[in-house]
Amino acid sequence: MIRYVKSGGVETITEVCEHCGEVARTLHVSDITAKSEKWTGEIKMKDASNADFTLKTKKQRIAEVTESFIRKGLLDEVEAAEQRQGLKYGLRAESMCSESIDTVNNVTQSFCYRTDNRKFLAKEISGVSLSASFHASSEITANITGSKVGVDRKGNIIRMQSYKKIDMETGIADVDANVKYKGPQETSWFRALRSTDQQYLIEGARAVNAFVRRYGEESENFKVVSRFRSRTEFVTAVNLDGGRLR
């Protein structure tokens, strides 16, 4: 959604998250301006960096930005085909308040991470509230597919094991050295295990009620592994509570 505010003579154009309504990025007038299809001459203006910017027609602008929106999950192929004449907000598609590169699946994920925000909690998609889906007691915080980080524009829960943040203003991603890990993946010995072994430990430990009660929330987000120095120590602790891990 595009929001225009004029206060004290200062005009501000922002793009806000579809779910929580918080500002995602600041837009420049050049981001939402196009020239008439009938105008054959050249029109120039200054962009956000004060460089000369040659205006293109609406069709040309949409063609340019569509692939970027698809890559970020803000449009799908069907929507793109339907919206060649105009995106939901003219030259802009829907926006989310966070974008990150999922370094395991090598895809860009756009999502709302403010899952306790009042507007997020009140929003429904196809009759299902975002709150009910994200905060459902049956929806485990972390599993083998990753840890919950937010909800995409269609209401799907986004999970990631590791990611690089993308600056919402510049569109530039963090360097590889700044990859961040979620949940149990923050612990190096667990991260080094094969995915099948990770799943075995997660499911095996959660099946031991005494272990789950002992560590509470840490058994849900599975950060409990950080309490132990190795797989062997972790397995020993689970088995002392009645588990049968090997």
User: pLDDT per residue over 96-108, tens digit each?
Assistant: 999 999 999 999 9
Amino acid at 126: S
The reported pLDDT for the residue numbered 186 is 96
Strand partners for 44:
54
The reported pLDDT for the residue numbered 83 is 60
The tokens for 216 are 């509470």
Strand partners for 54:
44
The reported pLDDT for the residue numbered 85 is 58
The reported pLDDT for the residue numbered 203 is 95
More confident residue, 28 or 184: 184
Rounded-to-integer distance, Cα 194 and Cα 231, Å: 12
Task: Give residue for tokens 């500002």.
Answer: 23
